[in-house]
Each structure stands twice: as structure tokens, then as C-alpha cells.
Amino acid sequence: MKINLKHSNISSPKGIYLLLLTLVLSNFACADRSSKESLTSSKKKYALVIHGGAGTIKKENMTEAQEAAYTKKIQEALDAGFQVLENGGHAEIAVQQAINILENSPLFNAGKGAVFNHKGQQEMDASIMDGRTLNSGAVAGIRHIKNPINAAILVKDSTRHVLLSGQGAEDFAKLHGLEMVDSSYFYSERRYQSLLRAQGKEQALIQKKSTNIELIDNHQYGTVGCVALDQNGNIVAGTSTGGMTNKKYGRIGDSPIIGAGNYANNASCGVSCTGTGEYFIRTLAAHQVSNLILLNNFSLKEAVRQVIHQDIDSLGGTGGMIALDKNGNMAWDFNTEGMYRGFKSAHGDNIIEMYNE
């Protein structure tokens, strides 16, 4: 605010009063401007981080065409989610849109292209968590819901429950008009061949009378996850997966288990995991990252590193995670050869990586 002294007669009491009034008002204007500036800078923190699974992802095993296809799809998901955040939309919509793109692509082990279980079926798990309310929703063992993350959101918003499984989850989704598909929609030849290979290895172990059959780790990952921080400081985390190739007996992994494969809390951070789910359940990996920040004063990077390279690693687990904290800091880490991942932020970051660089 400019102070115009031209018309003020400061020699009269009225003039002095007017000058004081002008000074007070100008102070208000400055305070107002600086509070707007800090609001704008807090709005500038919005960001989105994505993973497309961790595992044996090595440059020497990838063709240029495969690398380009993964990069293109991850960029598409980043752009879709980021556009929501840029327009002031809620973090949950950003997460949903990004994950839907990955679920609809056969490149990833979620939705179309999910891995096969021991019986040759595709059974999928997904979860979502809202960091402001800690409300959560999840589905497990579903076979006909086109976009499992949408079912997780529906469970969060339309039930008193957190996790619905199997037929019940499918009936509920159908009743609420979610898109249902024939199980053949999810088929991909590549994943079916992975199942045959995994079962071949399993047979060989059975013949050798190995006791380690349940622990065959074939590194066929590809789970997808997304964490977003919106302009209002809301953090949402979502994860969607077909689980692990050749899984059996109604096995449910970490992805639909709140605190294990997925967690969000506006006071700390949001986390989405990928890897051998049993280890992420045993360590409550995603929640542990938040705990280390809140209780042990760890930075986001330190917390993610500790969970992957100490907690998970020391038990023999493999995988990785992505995380975003309330200040817009991002961290990702993994103890496998690679992890598909991407990050886009209001500060101009736009990173896509897949190898252990």
C-alpha cells in the first residue's frame, strides 16, 4: 500500500489522526500480504509419487521398447494425478486417477495384467487411506471388479468397515454400480507364463523334498501405489495389486492391510509399499515409517531407509516403498534390483526411474 501524504495536513490533530490511520491500515495490508504469501508457499508443496512395483528390474534385461512403454505409462499416471492437484483437487482423486491408469495397463501387476495364483486365477487386493481422518478402505481376494482401488474407496466411504473380501466385496461393489468385468479381462499371457515358470520351480523343489517351497521368491512384482499431498495439506495413500505369483489358500498380502502395505497421516506422511507382503505385514512397514518420524524424529528419508534396509531386510524380505511427508518431501527406497517409480511436484520435479541408479 502506498501512503499518500499529499492531502494530509499533519500539523492538525485531524491530520495526525489520518496519518496514524493510514499507517495502521498499511501495516494490515503488509500482514495480509505476508499471510497470503505463506499460504501460497504452503500451496506450492503439492506433489505426487508413484510406484509400479519392485523386483528384478535391470537395464540389461529391458528392451528400449519396454523401457519406453513403462516410462510412458508412469508419466501418464503422474500427469493425470498432478493435474488434479494443480487444479486444487483432493489428494484422493489424484491417487485414484493415477492408480486407475496403472490398473488399466497390462504392464503392471494390478487390475488388468494381475499375476495368477496357484489355481490359475487372478485375485486382487487394494487399499486407500485418508491422512486427515485416518479413514481407510480395502478389498481383498476380488476377481471381477475392474478397478480394485475404486472398490477400496467405496468401502471407506460407504461402510462402517475397513476391509471387505471375496464374494462379499464383489456383491457390495456391484450393488453400488462399480464396473464389473469377466475374469478373462485381467488375463495376460506374460503373467500366465510366469505362473507356469513358478510352478515348474515349485515342482522341482518338491521333487528334491525341499522344505522351502512356500518361500519361492520369483520377483514377479508390479504392484502399483501412489501417495499424494494436495494444496490443503491432505495426504492420501493408495495401493493396488494382484499379489504374488503362485500364491495360494486365499492368501492376502500387505497391500490391503492398513499400516502394512499402505498408510497415510497428515501429521507425518503417506506410504505405499511393494514387495514380499508377508514381511511388510510382520514389520507393519508403512506405519513404522510414520512412527519413526513422529516418535523418533527421523526425517522421511531416514525412516524409509531404516524400514527397508533394516526391518525388512533383516527378516529376509525384499521390496521397496514410496513416501511423501506433510512438507512435500519425497523418499523412495528398495532392496531389490529396481523399482518402477515416478515423482512430480509443484516445485517442478518430474522424475521417472526404474533401476538401481
265 or 276: CB nearest ligand ASP:
276
Instruction: Determine which residue in the list 274, 291, 336, 345 makes contact with ligand ASP, applying CB under 6 A.
Output: 274
State the DSSP code for 215. Answer: G
3-state class (DSSP) for residue 350: strand
82 lies in the site for ligand ASP, by CB under 6 A: no
Confirm or reject binding of residue 122 to ligand ASP (CB under 6 A): no
Closer to ligand ASP at the Cβ: 194 or 231?
194
- Binding-site string for ligand ASP from residue 15 to residue 54, where x marks contact by CB under 6 A and - marks none: --------------------------------------x-
Identify residue 37 by its one-letter amino acid code: E
- Is residue 268 at the binding interface for ligand ASP, with CB under 6 A as the rule? no
- Supply 102's cell numbers: 496403472
- By CB atoms closer than 10 A (0-12, 13-18, 19+), residue 119 is exposed
CB of 210 vs ligand ASP, minimal distance in Å: 22
Q: b vs e for 60-96, b when ≥16 Cβ sit within 10 Å of the residue's Cβ?
A: eebeeeeeeebeebbeebbbbbbebbbeebbbbbbbb
How many residues bind ligand ASP, per CB under 6 A? Answer: 14
Residue 241 is a binding residue for ligand ASP (CB under 6 A) = yes
Question: If you count them, how many residues does the chain have?
Answer: 357
Q: How far is the CB of 53 from ligand ASP (least distance, A)?
A: 5
Assess 328 for contact with ligand ASP (CB under 6 A).
Answer: no
Can you tell me which of 113, 141, 243, 328 binds ligand ASP, judged by CB under 6 A? 243
Annotate each residue in 194-223 with x if it binds ligand ASP (CB under 6 A) or - if it does not, as one string: ---------------------------x-x
| C-alpha torsion 224→230→234→236, nearest 10 | -10
223 is catalytic: yes
Contact 308, 300 (CB under 8 A): no
Q: Does 334 bind ligand ASP (CB under 6 A)?
A: no
Contact indicator for 305, 335 with CB cutoff of 8 Å: no
Q: Which stretch binds ligand ASP (CB under 6 A): 80-88, 169-177, 186-194, 251-259?
A: 251-259
Candidate list 81, 111, 131, 261; residue touching ligand ASP; CB under 6 A: 261
Interface with ligand ASP includes 266 (CB under 6 A)? no
**Which three three-digit cell numbers place residue 159?**
461402510
- We find the least distance from the C-beta atom of residue 35 to ligand ASP, in angstroms, to be 43
When asked if residue 103 is in the footprint of ligand ASP (CB under 6 A), the reply is no
Alpha-carbon distances of 152 from 60, 95, 163, 228, 229, rounded to whole Å: 37, 12, 8, 17, 19
Alpha-helical runs (H) found in the chain: 13-43, 64-86, 91-103, 148-158, 166-175, 189-207, 277-282, 285-296, 300-306, 313-315
Residues in the site for ligand ASP, rule: CB under 6 A? 53, 221, 223, 241, 243-244, 253-255, 261, 274-277
